[in-house]
């Protein structure tokens, strides 16, 4: 019987945790912001179909489709442990814009691997599956990083520990926060946004980064909202990437003056995130970003909350 798996969008880095923090997000209006992969029995060994709003943006060659690559990687790993790959058909519903800073590739990867694992009665553990997800993400983005795939798969706010046999662990987060996400409608390639970052940083930057991230994590555990937002600073990526985003500095300043607790680049951009302490401020920020940050008809703004569930089966 067909199985439909949804994997939610994510906001990675959260300014202070480059490659090490990410949150799964869901619009509060109940709409689904993420990709869906359907899996079903098939007469031939394997079929892949892609549909959805952003299907035209996918690579033409099947082999370059990340869902195809997920199938190949899953099959290789299953065979290595003596398992048999079933005949199956995958359908990718590509609902997420590509190169958006909302973990678009992660949504496809996570939905595909969760669907494949479930279809084969879960031969792989969560961390084994997550390791495969990171490997695939590395292929599309020019470097293995788990800060999109981990929250999309497991939900919540995740800290990449990459130690003791675990890739990530959940962090407590501020439930009152509204995450206003504004995608301007233009593309920023993650690989390119990674390539423009410096190879090394000054001692002053490293010390500042350690203090910011350490204090942010401490603030999450001790429920110090003011400390947490004061520490959401980015010395690693934002100074080098902001030129890729339209009028970033001015928009950030305006959002702050309208009550945003923190504003920054979501993932590698061009989506911007703004944290609002309450619904009224979130609405104000949403209107401002809609009128001032969107560049074309593909752009959108969503008021979101952290998605606690992550990838899930749709009824």
Q: Which residues bind ligand HSE (CB under 6 A)?
A: 12-13, 18-19, 103, 145, 147-148, 190, 193-194, 237, 267-268
CB within 8 A of 125, min separation 6: which ones? Answer: none
User: Would you list which residues are annotated within the binding site?
Assistant: 97-107
CB of 271 to ligand HSE, least distance (A): 10
Query: Nearer to ligand HSE by C-beta: 58 or 96?
Result: 96
Query: Contact at 8 Å (CB) between 90 and 47?
Result: yes
233 token code pair: 């600073």
Is the Cβ–Cβ distance between 260 and 274 less than 8 Å? yes
Question: 5 Cβ partners below 8 Å, 6+ apart?
Answer: 36, 37, 38, 39, 111, 112, 114, 115, 118, 311, 312, 313, 314
Sign of CA dihedral 300, 19, 147, 74: positive
Return the number of the residue (191 or 227) whose C-beta is nearest ligand HSE. Answer: 191
Annotated binding-site residue numbers for ATP: 97-107
Q: What is the DSSP string of 87-100?
A: PEEEEEE--SPTTS
User: Nearer to ligand HSE by C-beta: 197 or 230?
Assistant: 197
Residue whose C-alpha is closest to residue 119's, from 29, 266, 2, 285: 2
Cβ of residue 190: shortest distance to ligand HSE, in angstroms? 5
Nearer to ligand HSE, 90 or 232 (CB): 232
* 262 CB-near residues (< 8 Å, 6+ apart): 15, 229, 232, 273, 274, 275
Compute the least distance from the CB of residue 20 to ligand HSE, in Å: 8
**Which one, 19 or 35, has the nearer CB to ligand HSE?**
19
Nearer to ligand HSE, 88 or 109 (CB): 109
Closest contact distance (angstroms) between CB of 11 and ligand HSE is 9
Q: Which residue sits closest to ligand HSE, CB atoms considered?
A: 267
Which lies closer to ligand HSE via its Cβ, residue 39 or residue 274? 274
Dihedral Cα 272, 278, 279, 282, nearest 10 deg: -20
Distance CA 208, CA 58 (A): 39
**Which residue in this structure is represented by tokens 């923190």?**
262
Shortest CB 144 distance to ligand HSE, Å = 10
Nearest distance from residue 287's CB to ligand HSE, in Å? 26
CA dist 4 and 152 (Å) reads 15
Give the tokens for residue 172.
Answer: 């407590």
For residue 135, what are its two tokens?
Answer: 């490997």
Closest approach of Cβ 94 to ligand HSE, in Å?
17
- Give the shortest CB-40-to-ligand HSE separation in angstroms: 30
Give φ, ψ of 93 to 5 degrees.
Answer: -100, 100
């Amino acid at each position: 019987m067909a199985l439909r798996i949804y994997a939610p969008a994510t906001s990675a880095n959260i300014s202070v945790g480059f490659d090490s923090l990410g949150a799964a997000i869901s619009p509060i209006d109940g709409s689904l912001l993420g990709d869906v992969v359907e899996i079903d029995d098939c007469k031939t060994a394997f079929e892949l179909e892609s549909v959805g709003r952003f299907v035209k943006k996918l690579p033409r060659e099947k082999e370059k489709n990340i869902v195809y690559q997920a199938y190949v990687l899953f099959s290789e790993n299953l065979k290595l442990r003596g398992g048999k790959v079933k005949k199956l058909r995958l359908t990718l519903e590509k609902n997420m814009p590509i190169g958006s800073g909302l973990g678009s590739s992660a949504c496809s990867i996570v939905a595909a691997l969760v669907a494949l694992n479930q279809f084969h009665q879960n031969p792989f553990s969560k961390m084994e599956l997550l390791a495969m997800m990171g490997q695939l993400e590395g292929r599309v983005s020019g470097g293995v990083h788990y800060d999109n795939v981990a929250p999309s798969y497991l939900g919540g706010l995740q800290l990449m520990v990459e130690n003791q046999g675990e890739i990530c662990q959940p962090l407590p987060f501020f439930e009152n926060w509204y995450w206003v996400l504004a995608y301007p409608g233009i593309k920023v390639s993650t690989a390119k946004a990674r390539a423009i970052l410096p190879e090394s940083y000054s001692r002053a930057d490293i010390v500042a980064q350690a203090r910011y991230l350490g204090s942010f994590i401490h603030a999450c555990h001790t429920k110090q909202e003011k400390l947490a937002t004061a520490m959401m600073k980015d010395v690693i990526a934002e100074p080098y990437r902001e030129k890729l985003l339209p009028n970033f500095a001015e928009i950030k300043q305006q959002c702050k003056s309208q009550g945003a607790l923190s504003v920054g680049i979501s993932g590698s951009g061009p989506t911007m995130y703004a944290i609002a302490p309450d619904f009224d401020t979130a609405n104000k920020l949403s209107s401002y970003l809609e009128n001032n940050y969107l560049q074309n008809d593909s752009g959108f703004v969503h008021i979101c909350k952290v998605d606690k569930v992550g990838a899930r089966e749709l009824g």
